[in-house]
Amino acid sequence: MDSGIILFHCFMILLAFMSLLVKPGVGGKCAFEAIFNFGDSNSDTGGFFSAFPSQPSPNGMTYFNRPTGRPSDGRLYLDFLAQALGLPFVSPYLQSIGSDFRHGANFATSASTVLLPKTSLFDTGVSPFALAIQLNQMKQFKSRVDEQSSGQEKLPSSDIIGKSLYTFYIGQNDFTGNLGSGIDGARQIMPQLVSQISSTIKELYGLGGRTFLILNLAPVGCYPAFLVQLPHEGSDVDQFGCMISINNGVNEYNNMLKESLRQTRQDLGDAKVIYVNTHDALLELFQHPKNHGMQYGPKACCGTGGGSYNYNPQVFCGYSKSLNGQEVTATACDDPQNYVSWDGIHATEAANKQLAYAILGGSMSDPPFKFSDFCEIQPLG
């Protein structure tokens, strides 16, 4: 077993023990007073559905008991990270009702890409809020913070920028959206993706940001959606049911991203630029779900009930459609805590919680970054 995975297991045991010693809900001191997040659906806490309201149940069924714009049955990794740091959930920048930005803002939206889209949302389903747009929103946010009168709005003080954590979880849609011609299609845009991410970090550094957490690309070759939709031979599937060629391509991209961030770290001498190996943390869950209290790897909880992957690309989670003269609805399983995949594309709350544990421990990061060195970690309820 990889040494990083062993450390991941050890930290989870330690954190579980710590949760017995610390009272839930008691805020502790933390070097990070806010989180500013950039990303896609993997960390979207409601931005997309603030702009395009329509998310159905059963999304949100586990924790919120209603749809909140998160593509999951409950909380995302970003929610758990905020909870662990003693911060409230990060409000979506696009949400005009009920938002409180005193502890940061979430610019992520579902279907977002690193590169600017060449088509509209209504043609291909790609969000108009690409990384460059999210960066501009952050610049506008900072300008508004700098201009505000004290206590006028639910905004942070102007010195918050340097005391914040900047998180990135984006690139999946660029990668998977270019797999139509095989892995070579994705390979062609990899240099552009890592370059855009690095340049965005440098611009945020120019605004005053100093701590950046960049999650790499997950093992999408284990995602039910792509196992169903992408053509592949039986020999291209490993013993765990994951597509070998796609995950090899993911590793190519991740290695390129890691090297680009290493260079960025050198360019920004006093900044912390942390590469997080999301891939290995999630791959461990897909390959060995029972070792983490789950039952199913590459199988969706919310689907139409057909096939080994429980995923139908024509009927998304919570929606109904007439297929071959029969009304088909994608419904949720009764036990999402036993699944890694929520809807074939996104993680369940249970998987997101495990991912948060891995991030907090620091063993999956390069360079290693233990949050307990900067914050009094709160238990994850």
Residue among 41, 43, 91, 198 flagged as catalytic: 41
Distance CA 62, CA 69 (A): 14
Strand partners, 105: 36
The answer for residues whose C-beta is within 8 angstroms of residue 165's C-beta and 6 or more apart is 32, 34, 35, 36, 85, 211, 213
Distance CA 72, CA 310 (A): 16
Residue among 43, 50, 127, 346 flagged as catalytic: 346
- φ, ψ of residue 323 to 5 degrees: the values are -125, 120
Instruction: Reply yes or no on whether 41 is catalytic.
Output: yes
Instruction: Identify whether the C-beta of residue 341 lies closer than 8 Å to the C-beta of residue 299.
Output: yes
Helix or strand holding residue 135 (H, E): helix 131-147
Instruction: Reply yes or no on whether 343 is catalytic.
Output: yes
| Structural tokens at position 301 | 């909880």
User: CA distances (Å), 107 to each of 22, 92, 135, 165, 219, in order?
Assistant: 32, 6, 8, 14, 24
Quickly list H helices, 35-76. Answer: 47-51
- φ, ψ of residue 328 to 5 degrees: the values are -120, 130
By three-state DSSP, how is residue 365 classified?
strand
Active site residues per annotation: 41, 343, 346
